């Protein structure tokens, strides 16, 4: 098992993509890359041969990684030993396009309850949707216990999928506009929104819109959620052609898609605090520490750091391919690659769970 846990140094170039492609297109379309910086960072590969992992969650020194085809891989952080855990759900997980088993988080009382929450795509009556469910672990099987929310519009692209429990104890979820830009501005649909709910699926009394799960709207395909030390919520979002975004999310606000992007302004719409301009990041999972936002990037094949104090953007890590999620704990950053998702170039032993030191 020690072979799964290797230490090596990667000398890599920070590559910025000059074209106007986004994560909805195959990476083979990107024919030119400009190297602008070279650096080295110590890297520990904890686990290999994962199958399109989407979400990292961790309890003590055990990782639980959702795999987009529809199962969980449990990884021992010391030995790298992997255990496959199946899901028994009432509606079959649809692994098609960008859909499948996406967000997965352990319940706050997981040690005693053995429960978790998952977000997955499904098909019903010929249409594609997403749902959020509660699961309970028995042995190596996760069984659906109840439905938190379903009927979130889905599609081959733009399913969102990130779920997180906020500092207020509420459950937040990102929902893409399912490939229909008009959904984002329509408050009568859950698509193109960030949603907020109680852990039992009920609507909080203090949500910004009466009797609605909608927390914010005007989103294209948000895929990351994180809070800073002051309780401010941030989200990462895919732009149409570059112009990927990092947004400071406030209740009831309109974030502009498809009306504005980048530096464009429109009355009643909120521009991003950071955006990629003519470069494509395709940002996904994110986390915040020391007033810095760490964001995994798919198309950009890197982890970027957004300094909220200095208002700067730097590259933390690159060289392992498409990056899907990040988690920070005990002065280390954990990340997962997505080179087997149909848009990357799989390397030996992909996909991987990687550990990186936060210090230089």
Residue 30's CB: how many other CB atoms inside 10 A? 16
**Would you name the residues annotated as active-site residues?**
158
Q: Rounded CA gap, 160 and 289, in Å? A: 23
The rounded distance, in Å, linking the Cα atoms of 133 and 147 is: 5
CA torsion sign, 228 to 231 to 234 to 235? positive
User: Cβ-count burial of 61 within 10 angstroms (0-12 exposed, 13-18 middle, 19+ buried)?
Assistant: exposed
Instruction: Give every CB contact of residue 126 below 8 A, 6+ residues apart in sequence.
Output: none
The Cα 168–Cα 198 span in angstroms is 10
Distance between CA atoms of residues 73 and 143, nearest Å: 15
Residue of 294, 320, 325, 296 lying closest to 12 (CA atoms): 320
Alpha-carbon distance 61 to 79, whole Å? 10
């Amino acid at each position: 098992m020690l072979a799964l846990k290797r230490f090596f140094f990667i000398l890599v170039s920070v590559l910025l993509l000059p074209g106007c492609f986004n994560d909805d297109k195959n990476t083979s379309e990107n024919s030119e890359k400009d190297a602008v910086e070279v650096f080295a960072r110590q890297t520990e590969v904890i686990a290999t041969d994962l199958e399109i992992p989407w979400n990292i969650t961790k309890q003590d020194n055990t990782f639980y990684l959702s795999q987009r085809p529809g199962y969980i891989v449990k990884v021992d952080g010391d030995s790298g030993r992997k255990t496959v855990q199946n899901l028994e759900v009432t509606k079959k997980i649809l692994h098609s396009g960008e859909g499948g088993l996406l967000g997965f988080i352990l319940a706050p009382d997981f040690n005693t309850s053995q429960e978790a929450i998952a977000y997955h795509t499904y098909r019903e009556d010929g249409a594609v949707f997403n749902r959020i469910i509660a699961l309970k672990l028995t042995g190596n099987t996760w069984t659906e216990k109840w439905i938190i929310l379903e009927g979130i519009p889905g599609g081959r692209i733009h399913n969102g999928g990130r779920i997180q429990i906020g500092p207020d104890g509420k459950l937040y979820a990102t929902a893409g506009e399912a490939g229909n830009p008009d959904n984002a501005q329509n408050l009568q649909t859950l698509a193109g929104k960030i949603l907020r709910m109680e852990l039992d699926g009920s609507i909080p009394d203090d949500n910004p819109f009466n009797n609605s799960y909608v927390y914010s709207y005007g989103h294209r395909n948000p895929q990351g959620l994180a809070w800073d030390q002051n309780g401010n919520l941030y989200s990462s979002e895919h732009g149409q052609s570059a112009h990927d975004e990092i947004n400071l999310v406030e209740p009831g606000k309109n974030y502009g898609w498809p009306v504005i992007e980048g530096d464009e302004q429109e009355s009643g719409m909120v521009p991003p605090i950071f955006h990629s301009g003519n470069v494509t990041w395709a940002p996904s999972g994110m986390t915040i520490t020391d007033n810095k936002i760490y964001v995994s990037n798919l198309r950009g094949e890197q982890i970027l750091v957004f300094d909220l104090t200095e208002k700067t953007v730097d590259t933390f890590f690159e060289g392992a391919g498409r990056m899907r999620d990040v988690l920070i704990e005990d002065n280390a950053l954990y990340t997962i690659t997505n080179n087997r998702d149909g848009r990357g170039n799989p390397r030996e032993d992909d996909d991987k769970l990687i550990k990186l030191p936060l210090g230089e």
